[in-house]
Amino acid sequence: MLSAPAPRRKSHPSRDVCGSSPARAARPDIVSHVEAGQKPIELILARNFISALSTPAFLVDEGGVLIFYNESAGMLLGKRFEEIGKVGPEHWGTMFGPFDESGGPIPYDDLPLVMAVRQGLPAHSRFSIRSADGTEHEIEVSALPILTPQGSRGGLAFFWTTDSSAKVGD
């Protein structure tokens, strides 16, 4: 004897395909983490990620504020992040250079990390920096934007020395 097919489970009309409730998103009593003064989860995860790397790396928020660099970057720059702390966009872009092939300063707007955050696309460049003790290092920088469905959250930059004076991250 044939039995009747099992009833189909109805999708909940107030939930989207991911299980989120549109009503919850519209509730004024639910405050986003950004409004509450916390960093977006994407930046927290990115900081944890670069903390574990031996490759020097920077992390900036969507406003271009340098919010972290890892220990390897600190070794190359000659200053740990804890000594410098958060730095505004115009300042970190000039603290250690960078310099073009002729020794001239590279404009802040032309830095790979700035371009990646502003344009939402990866960027790469090669230039020189000067560490806190005055030593110049040739580096290559690859920068990636951190993009979410809500927009840009910031960017990551990974860099490698190309000179023989410091081989941090190689």
Into how many domains does the chain fold? 1
Task: Read off the tokens for 64.
Answer: 């271009």
CATH code, 70 = 3.30.450.20
Give the pLDDT of residue 149: 87
Q: 130 and 96 in contact (C-beta within 8 Å)? A: yes
Provide the whole-model pTM: 0.71
* 120 conformational bin, left if phi > 0, alpha if psi -120 to 50, beta if neither: left
Give the pLDDT of residue 94: 81
Do the domain assignments include residue 70?
yes
* pLDDT tens track for 58-97: 999 988 899 999 999 999 999 999 999 999 987 887 888 8
Do the domain assignments include residue 14?
no
Give the pLDDT of residue 10: 44
Task: Show the low-confidence residues of the chain (pLDDT under 70).
Answer: 1-37, 163-170
Q: Which residues contact 125 (CB under 8 A, 6 or more apart)?
A: 110, 111, 112, 140, 141
Which domain does 82 fall in, by range?
38-161
Give the pLDDT of residue 164: 58
Do the domain assignments include residue 101?
yes
